[in-house]
């Protein structure tokens, strides 16, 4: 299952997010990295250093685009200007698949710049799936949607989060970017068993997996991407790999970013879960 139609039948290994503090190290040392994930919005510009850097990276590395503001779950229509710029970038990077979040974040063209949680209703799933299909048809690249960390639940929800994710993915016929850290964070904030989540999503749709660290507060956990991955999240990752098969994996580290070597070493810990489980994947 590592290569499927939701990740462009690619066979990527373990990557890390491309971040500005690491640029110099990457250009000087040219480290071996399976692939880099870029935040699409940082490169949806007309020129200058961002595109120069990106082209240098593309010369040497495989890149997958990850977005933070498509807002498939917003009730309003997709932003056409956003899609146009995104397609220009897709052509530049030749990303084999593209990811963004299963969330909302804008109303009447006003943007929150946050990943706001969805009400888990059938109608919301239908509207979201419709927008994912529209985006995929326009962008002409497979799309996988990522489960977000959340800190609030809605009275109107009619199903669990993983049922909602399944409903959307099946209706849109899209892939899933399974973020096991987000599952862990939400499970602690909303009192559910994270294994129930991992075991009940459609495994054949998982195009990619995210791992990350988080911050624990007195009454809740926040998805801060500023720590190493904790053991319970590694256990979830291991279980996900058992169920899904070896899958393109990406470590997110976005704040208090340590050296390139430290981030890469943390990501490569995922490899110990990959080879021995490849045989049992079906």
Partner 1 sequence: MSNTNLDQLQRDMFEVIRQPLTADERMRKRTLDGRPTKEIVERIIKPNDRLTSVERLEIYNRVYWFRILSSLADDFPGLRAVIGQRRFDKLITGYLTDRPSQSFTLRNLGSRLESWLREHPELTPKTERIALDMVRLEWADIDVFDSAELPTMAEADLGKLGEDPVLHLQPYLRLLDLKYPVDDLLLSIRGHLEPETDIASNVVIMEHSDRRREKRVSLPKPKKIYLAVHRQENEVYFKRLQPEAFALLRAIQEGKPLSAAIEVTVNWTNQKVEHITVHLHDWFANWAALGWFCHPES
Q: Using CB under 8 A as the criterion, which residues of the chain lie in contact with partner 1 when the complex forms?
A: 17, 19-21, 39, 41-42, 44-52, 68-69, 74-76, 79, 81-82, 104, 106-107, 109-116, 119, 121-124, 127, 149, 151-156, 158, 189-191, 215, 219-220, 222-226, 252, 254-255, 257
**Which tokens go with 202?**
């459609």
SS3 84: helix
> Nearest 5°: phi and psi at 122?
-65, -40
Beta bridge partners of residue 143, listed in sequence order: 98
d(CA 279, CA 252): 27
Residue number, 46 or 282, with CB nearest to partner 1 = 46
How far, in whole angstroms, is CA 252 from its chain's centroid? 9
- Asked if 44 contacts 84 with a C-beta cutoff of 8 angstroms, the reply is no
Residue number, 69 or 95, with CB nearest to partner 1 = 69
State the maximum Cα–Cα separation within the chain, in Å, rounded to a whole number. 53
Q: How far is the CB of 89 from partner 1 (least distance, A)?
A: 12
Q: How far is the CB of 50 from partner 1 (least distance, A)?
A: 5
- Asked if 28 contacts 259 with a C-beta cutoff of 8 angstroms, the reply is no
Residue number, 157 or 204, with CB nearest to partner 1 = 157
Residue number, 134 or 254, with CB nearest to partner 1 = 254
Q: How far is the CB of 1 from partner 1 (least distance, A)?
A: 25
Q: How far is the CB of 161 from partner 1 (least distance, A)?
A: 13
Q: How far is the CB of 92 from partner 1 (least distance, A)?
A: 14
d(CA 125, CA 170): 10
Helix or strand (DSSP H, E) at 235? helix 231-244
Residue number, 79 or 200, with CB nearest to partner 1 = 79
């Amino acid at each position: 299952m590592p290569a499927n139609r939701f990740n462009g039948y690619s066979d990527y290994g373990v990557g890390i997010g491309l971040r500005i503090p690491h640029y110099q190290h990457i250009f000087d040392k040219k480290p071996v990295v399976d692939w880099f994930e870029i935040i699409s919005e940082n490169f949806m510009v007309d020129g200058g250093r961002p595109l120069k850097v990106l082209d240098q990276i593309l010369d040497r590395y495989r890149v997958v685009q990850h977005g933070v503001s498509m807002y498939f779950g917003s009730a309003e229509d997709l932003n056409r200007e956003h899609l146009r710029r995104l397609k220009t970038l897709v052509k530049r990077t030749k990303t084999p698949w593209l990811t963004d979040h299963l969330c909302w974040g804008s109303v009447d063209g006003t943007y929150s710049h946050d990943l706001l949680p969805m009400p888990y209703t059938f109608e919301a799933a239908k509207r979201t799936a419709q927008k994912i299909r529209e985006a995929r048809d326009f962008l002409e690249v497979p799309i996988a949607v990522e489960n977000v960390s959340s800190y609030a639940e809605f009275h109107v929800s009619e199903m669990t989060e993983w049922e909602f994710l399944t409903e959307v993915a099946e209706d849109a016929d899209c892939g899933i970017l399974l973020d096991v850290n987000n599952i862990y964070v939400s499970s602690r904030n909303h009192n559910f068993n994270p294994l129930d989540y991992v075991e009940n999503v459609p495994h054949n749709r998982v195009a990619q997996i995210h791992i990350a660290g988080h911050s624990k507060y007195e009454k809740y956990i926040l998805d801060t991407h500023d720590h190493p991955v904790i053991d319970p999240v590694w256990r979830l990752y291991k279980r996900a790999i058992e169920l899904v098969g070896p899958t393109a994996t990406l470590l997110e580290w976005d704040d208090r970013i340590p050296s390139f070597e430290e981030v890469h070493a943390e990501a490569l810990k995922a490899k110990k879960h990959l080879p021995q489980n490849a045989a049992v994947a079906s």
